[in-house]
Amino acid sequence: MVRFETLIELHHDELYFYLRRMTHGSTSDAADLMQETWLRAWQAFDRLRPGSNPRAWLYRIATNCALNALRNGQREFPWQEERELPDEGRLPHEQLEHRENLEMVLKEIGLLPPRQRAAVLLRYGHELRYPELASVLRCSEESARANVSLGVRRLRRELEEK
């Protein structure tokens, strides 16, 4: 069985990044949800079955924390513009265009319904496979695929209009 401290070391950064996306880039809301995620994980750690996927289990807890906060109206998650994007060897005008495009996509992802937002972020941002995604969202694999598909279609439609 993996130690709880090892889970924190392995997954803290990616969970925090995911929660920032779920909270429209808010560092303070993501930090609050991150604390809640680790608290709930610690409280349930003895129930984590041997052989299960701890990464998917942690994403499920983080997703539940974020969706509960949205559902209960505890947070509105205003969009924040505080990102540092890598240069990737682009010319200055290309960097600006890339930054603007990325900001537009991230903003549109933030406007997706919460389950679709979670599905798109987990599938493409964190590369969860559909069985893991279904486990995190507590739905069937078909439903996970549908949430991703609907989210991507909606993103395409919104981005094409811009």
Q: How many domains, the chain?
A: 1
Give the span between the Cα atoms of 30 and 73, in whole angstroms: 15
In-domain check, residue 62: yes
Radius of gyration over alpha carbons of the chain, in Å? 16
Residue 113 in any domain: the answer is: yes
pLDDT digits (tens, 9 = 90+) for 29-54: 899 999 999 999 999 999 988 888 99
Query: Is residue 87 situated within a structural domain?
Result: no
What lies within 8 Å, CB to CB, of 105 at 6+ separation is 155, 159
What spatial distance separates the first Cα and last Cα of the chain, rounded to whole Å?
A: 49
Is 154 within a domain?
A: yes
Structural domain contains residue 19: yes
Residue 35 lies in a domain: yes
| Single pTM value for the model | 0.71
Instruction: Return d(Cα 148, Cα 8) in angstroms, integer.
Output: 27
Q: Which domain covers residue 77, as residue numbers?
A: 4-81+92-160
Domain CATH number, residue 137: 1.20.140.160
Residue 74 in domain: yes
pLDDT tens by residue, 108-151: 888 899 999 999 999 998 889 999 999 999 999 999 999 999 99
CB-based burial of residue 19 (10 Å sphere; 0-12 exposed, 13-18 middle, 19+ buried)? buried
- Which tokens in the block code for residue 148? 């991703």
pLDDT at 88: 59
Q: Report how far residue 6's alpha carbon sits from residue 25's, in angstroms, rounded to the nearest whole number.
A: 26
Residue 86 lies in a domain: no
